Amino acid sequence: MTLLGGQLDFGDWVKGLVAAFIGGGAGAFSAGLSAIVVDHNDFNIYTLKFWQLVFGTFIIGGLVPFFAYLHQRPIPDTIDKEHTVKTITQGNKEPIVVETMKETSKEKIETKE
Protein backbone atom coordinates (compact mmCIF):
# COMPACT_ATOMS: atom_id res chain seq x y z
CA MET A 1 0.00 0.00 0.00
CA THR A 2 1.37 3.39 -0.96
CA LEU A 3 0.89 6.39 1.27
CA LEU A 4 2.52 9.81 1.10
CA GLY A 5 5.13 8.80 -1.46
CA GLY A 6 6.30 5.59 0.20
CA GLN A 7 5.21 2.00 0.56
CA LEU A 8 4.06 0.98 4.04
CA ASP A 9 5.95 -1.79 5.86
CA PHE A 10 3.04 -3.87 7.14
CA GLY A 11 5.20 -6.95 7.81
CA ASP A 12 7.20 -5.51 10.71
CA TRP A 13 4.21 -3.59 12.03
CA VAL A 14 1.91 -6.63 12.24
CA LYS A 15 4.78 -8.71 13.67
CA GLY A 16 5.18 -6.09 16.42
CA LEU A 17 1.45 -6.12 17.19
CA VAL A 18 1.36 -9.91 17.45
CA ALA A 19 4.51 -10.00 19.57
CA ALA A 20 3.10 -7.38 21.94
CA PHE A 21 -0.18 -9.31 22.31
CA ILE A 22 1.46 -12.70 22.90
CA GLY A 23 4.09 -11.25 25.23
CA GLY A 24 1.42 -9.55 27.30
CA GLY A 25 -0.79 -12.61 27.45
CA ALA A 26 2.07 -14.97 28.32
CA GLY A 27 1.47 -14.55 32.04
CA ALA A 28 -2.04 -15.96 31.71
CA PHE A 29 -1.09 -19.53 32.48
CA SER A 30 0.75 -18.42 35.61
CA ALA A 31 -2.46 -16.69 36.72
CA GLY A 32 -4.28 -19.99 36.25
CA LEU A 33 -1.64 -21.82 38.26
CA SER A 34 -1.99 -19.25 41.02
CA ALA A 35 -5.73 -19.94 41.09
CA ILE A 36 -4.99 -23.66 41.51
CA VAL A 37 -2.80 -22.88 44.54
CA VAL A 38 -5.46 -20.63 46.08
CA ASP A 39 -8.50 -22.86 45.37
CA HIS A 40 -7.55 -26.30 44.08
CA ASN A 41 -11.13 -27.61 44.44
CA ASP A 42 -12.68 -25.21 41.94
CA PHE A 43 -9.64 -24.58 39.74
CA ASN A 44 -7.64 -27.40 38.19
CA ILE A 45 -6.58 -28.10 34.62
CA TYR A 46 -9.56 -30.42 34.09
CA THR A 47 -12.25 -27.81 34.82
CA LEU A 48 -13.76 -25.36 32.38
CA LYS A 49 -13.49 -22.65 35.04
CA PHE A 50 -9.67 -22.90 34.96
CA TRP A 51 -9.47 -22.52 31.17
CA GLN A 52 -11.94 -19.62 31.21
CA LEU A 53 -9.68 -17.87 33.71
CA VAL A 54 -6.56 -18.57 31.63
CA PHE A 55 -8.21 -17.48 28.36
CA GLY A 56 -9.74 -14.33 29.88
CA THR A 57 -6.45 -13.38 31.51
CA PHE A 58 -4.59 -14.00 28.24
CA ILE A 59 -6.93 -11.70 26.29
CA ILE A 60 -6.86 -8.89 28.84
CA GLY A 61 -3.13 -9.25 29.49
CA GLY A 62 -2.43 -9.21 25.75
CA LEU A 63 -4.64 -6.24 24.90
CA VAL A 64 -2.81 -3.80 27.17
CA PRO A 65 0.59 -4.03 25.38
CA PHE A 66 -1.21 -4.43 22.02
CA PHE A 67 -2.86 -1.03 22.40
CA ALA A 68 0.32 0.46 23.86
CA TYR A 69 2.11 -0.62 20.66
CA LEU A 70 -0.67 0.95 18.57
CA HIS A 71 -0.32 4.14 20.58
CA GLN A 72 3.41 4.20 19.86
CA ARG A 73 3.14 3.20 16.17
CA PRO A 74 -0.40 3.90 14.87
CA ILE A 75 0.60 3.21 11.25
CA PRO A 76 3.47 1.24 9.72
CA ASP A 77 6.71 2.93 8.73
CA THR A 78 7.41 3.53 5.05
CA ILE A 79 9.86 1.55 2.94
CA ASP A 80 12.18 3.30 0.51
CA LYS A 81 13.07 1.23 -2.55
CA GLU A 82 16.11 1.89 -4.67
CA HIS A 83 16.36 -0.02 -7.96
CA THR A 84 19.67 0.08 -9.85
CA VAL A 85 20.44 -1.44 -13.26
CA LYS A 86 24.03 -1.74 -14.43
CA THR A 87 25.20 -3.12 -17.81
CA ILE A 88 28.68 -4.62 -18.04
CA THR A 89 30.27 -5.22 -21.43
CA GLN A 90 33.45 -7.25 -21.98
CA GLY A 91 34.82 -7.04 -25.50
CA ASN A 92 32.61 -8.74 -28.09
CA LYS A 93 30.70 -10.84 -25.51
CA GLU A 94 27.02 -10.44 -24.74
CA PRO A 95 26.47 -7.60 -22.21
CA ILE A 96 25.70 -8.64 -18.63
CA VAL A 97 22.84 -6.84 -16.89
CA VAL A 98 23.11 -6.59 -13.10
CA GLU A 99 20.04 -5.44 -11.19
CA THR A 100 20.07 -4.56 -7.52
CA MET A 101 17.13 -3.75 -5.27
CA LYS A 102 17.68 -2.08 -1.93
CA GLU A 103 14.92 -1.58 0.63
CA THR A 104 15.28 0.51 3.73
CA SER A 105 12.65 1.11 6.36
CA LYS A 106 12.13 4.73 7.27
CA GLU A 107 11.34 5.11 10.95
CA LYS A 108 10.26 8.40 12.40
CA ILE A 109 12.71 9.79 14.92
CA GLU A 110 10.98 11.70 17.66
CA THR A 111 12.83 14.45 19.45
CA LYS A 112 12.14 15.36 23.04
CA GLU A 113 12.52 18.88 24.22
What is the sign of the dihedral through the CA atoms of 17, 22, 23 and 27?
positive
For residue 30, list its beta bridge partners.
none
51-86, pLDDT tens digit by residue?
999 999 999 999 999 999 999 999 888 876 666 777
- Residues 50, 32 contacting (CB under 8 angstroms): yes
Question: Which of 9-18, 28-37, 65-74 is predicted with the least confidence, judged by mean pLDDT?
Answer: 28-37
pTM equals 0.61
**Chain Cα centroid distance, residue 9:** 11
Rounded distance between C-alpha atoms, residue 57 and residue 26, angstroms: 9
36-60, pLDDT tens digit by residue?
999 988 888 899 999 999 999 999 9
